[in-house]
Amino acid sequence: MAKGLWIAIAVVVLLIGYGVYVAYHNASLDSAFTAVTQGATPEEVVALMGEPSAKRGCADAVTWLEHPVLGKKCAFEYRYDAKVMPNYWTIGFDDGHHAIAKYAYVSP
């Protein structure tokens, strides 16, 4: 076979491999996000979801999957970014380091 054909085949294989990796990464984060329960500690969240993409102050009102959580104040949150797609998941924690907020941001 010609050298150009081998290069084309290698590029296609690499693109397919990357696509599989992206799909697996995003599905794994989504599955782990589903498993996070109210009251979980940051260590428990990291054990399920891995290290967050970002650790930051809270960005939204305290809700658990769009249901308001009354009487709680969010101190910080972990953000987990999807690969390629503009989706992300966040887990918010109170001052006692317990999960009190859970958001899934999905771009249309």
The domain segmentation of the chain, as residue ranges, is 3-105
- Average pLDDT taken over every residue of the chain: 89
Q: What are phi and psi of 8, to 5 degrees?
A: -60, -45
| Statement: residue 50 has pLDDT above 80 | yes
**Better-predicted residue by pLDDT, 95 or 107:** 95
The winner for highest mean pLDDT among 18-27, 32-41, 61-70, 84-93 is: 32-41
Identify the band that residue 86 occupies on the pLDDT scale cut at 50, 70 and 90. confident
Of 48, 39, 34, the closest CA to residue 99 belongs to: 39
Lowest mean pLDDT among 9-18, 35-44, 68-77, 94-103: 9-18
CA 66 to chain centre: 17
pTM assigned to the model: 0.80
- Judge whether 58 and 92 are in contact, CB under 8 Å: yes
Q: Which fold has domain 3-105?
A: Beta-lactamase Inhibitory Protein; Chain:B, domain 1 (3.30.1450)
Q: Are strands 67-68 and 76-81 parallel, antiparallel or unpaired?
A: unpaired
